[in-house]
A and B are shown apart, each in its own frame.
Chain A
Amino acid sequence: MKLLVIEDELQLQDSIRISLEKEKFVVDVASDYHSALQKIYAFEYDCIILDILLPFGSGLDILQVLKKEEKPGNIIIISAKDSLDDKITGLEFGADDYMTKPFHNAELNARVKAVMRRKSLDGKNTVSIANVLLDYDERTVTVDQALIDINRKEFDTLSYLVLNKNRLVTHVALAEHVWGDHVEDADNFDFIYSQIKNLRKKLKDCNAGVRIRSVYGVGYKMVEI
């Protein structure tokens, strides 16, 4: 899987690249309008992560080029401008998703995987890890083909951890993803703990081949046993 990160802030570009490379993606980078276009014309990418504000041009123009060239890649816009107009224009121009900076590495991983899954050729909207299978169409989880009882928030939590397997998912990223934008700055994230406790119990009860590990008290990591 080959990804292109178009981002002019080199430090941010760097950490996006490192984070995505950990997911075993091949990551190419471009830091301005012209080099981005060169790469787009020269190579095929499975997913393009695109900043709107670029030196020498706009990410929206790149979107239009991609549309004209009928490049089938998935496009995720990352913008510092939290503006509804940009979001609407971006999605109209053929972007698949829109994220506002700053974002968590885990969130980007999850989004990249989600857009790639949606466009995958086998048409199966599922993700599996060890003996655990998540079906996104049905929103069900099966362990060794046996359905386990799981509620909406538990599904979202599990899915987020699975999409970021072996990676750190911070409390704040998880809260934002599962509970919504406004919970992220709640004064503490204790409430996540009880959610994780339930999830751990359910996974253990059905002998799932995964475990949720705490990481330094800032988040969790899903690992295969």
Chain B
Amino acid sequence: MRLLNRSFVTLSISLLLIIGIWSVVFYFVLLDEIYDGLDDSLEEYKEFVIHSAEQDESMLKVSAFDERNFIMQEISRETADRQDYDLYSDTILNRDIDEEPERMRMLTSSFEVDGQYYRLRIISSQVEEDDLSELFVIFLLILYVVVLLSIFVINNVLLRKLWKPFYKYLHQLKNFRFDHDPENPKMNTGTLEFVQLNKACDDLINYARDTFSNQKQFIENAAHELQTPLAVINSKLELLLEGNDLSPEDAAVVVDVFHKVLQLSQMNKSLFLLSKIENKQYFDNQPIIVNEVIKRVIRQFEDFAENKSIVIHLQETDRIVVEFDPALMEILISNLVKNAIVHNMVNGKVIITVNNGSFQTCNTSASSQLSNRVFDRFYKVSGSNGTGLGLAIAGAICKLYGLEILYSYDGLHCFEIKFK
């Protein structure tokens, strides 16, 4: 749920509670005030009636409620003594036969004129509580709706404007790749929290960037630093083997070491290349005719294939021209072709197809279907002498150029790159 909607829902619920409780309290306080006022006016009226009755004896004879809203009744002194205070009460009176009985507020009091005690009852119209509460609820509902509407409008106009830099920043962060974009996402805002968020994200990104580049640097340096010692070992071993004065046993040992050093150099070279590709240190893009590269690579490998009695078939029905780094294209194609020849069998075949914007190598092999991890570093089929990096490099090059490389198996092992 979006923040704005969430705050809106929370506000609506809490406002409903607050207004609800407040209205109940307010209703009863108001009602109480009204009764107080009513009673006060009854009291004043009582004073007035008693005062008038002292001058006008006819008033003492009023025995039914007329428009003057009071009645008098003679009582004994004892009765008067029993109730010597003013009593306020609610009653229902049917003053007029035509009208419905009405709820009334009544003040009962007693007084004395010339030694005679009288009971005075004064009535006053009651507040219509049903009407009042109905009105109250209606107005409160209106208030509630108006408040909600205002909150909604404020949320959507004002708050949305306030949150705008945040959402913009969020969008930038979503698309941000620190190995890709040189500039950190930026928020144009004066809001303290947002500024702090921006700062925290910046710190995090810079830290990740540093770690990443250190890591990259480390792999590259390690591979680079290994190159010289390996070159020295290689060169010294060549000199040693040249010497002609080795016993056959010693020579066998040196040859073993020599082969292992070759493997090591090869692996180091591949790792170096892989880290360079992944660090995007290549990019001398120019139009490359893929078909020509394929033919050149096949020529390079034909003796190698022939030696294993493998036949290479080339089927071209399309001419692919792409913007690519020439060295990387050469590596990509030759790694796939080499893979198809190396992991083949005697009297096997390699079918290379260029069709409909895609390049495909299919080869026979003694091994059955491979897992999808073929593009992982150091993935090797048991018995393979390779570095286990050839396809990883091919995969990395494809990834660098946003191309898809697919492995499939239907009797033949096929690798396909879709250039278009």
Contact = CB atoms under 8 A, between A and B. Distances in A.
B236 A101 contact: no
Interface string A92-120: 00000000011111100000000000000
A35 interface: no
The interface residues of chain B, by DSSP majority, are classed as: helix
B398 to A, nearest CB: 17
A191 B300 CA distance: 12
Contact of B231 (A12, A19, A179, A216): A12
A195 interface: yes
B239 A18 contact: yes
Interface residues of A, number: 41
Contact of B307 (A19, A102, A191): A191
A194 B307 contact: yes
B199 to A, nearest CB: 38
A217 interface: yes
B373 interface: no
A168 B303 contact: no
B227 A102 contact: yes
B304 A191 contact: yes
Contacts, number: 108
A115 B84 CA distance: 139
Contact of A216 (B255, B297, B307): B255
B361 interface: no
A153 to B, nearest CB: 7
Nearest to A81: B224
Interface string A135-159: 0000000000000000001000000
Interface in B111-139: none
Interface stretch (B211-219, B258-266, B404-412): B258-266
Interface stretch (A64-72, A124-132, A181-189): A181-189
B330 interface: yes
B54 interface: no
A102 B330 contact: no
A102 B241 contact: no
Given A187-B386, A188-B385, 5 more contacts: A9-B228, A12-B235, A101-B227, A187-B342, A216-B252
19 contacts: A9-B228, A12-B231, A15-B235, A101-B227, A102-B227, A102-B265, A105-B235, A168-B238, A179-B300, A180-B300, A182-B331, A183-B304, A186-B338, A187-B342, A191-B306, A215-B241, A216-B252, A217-B255, A221-B242
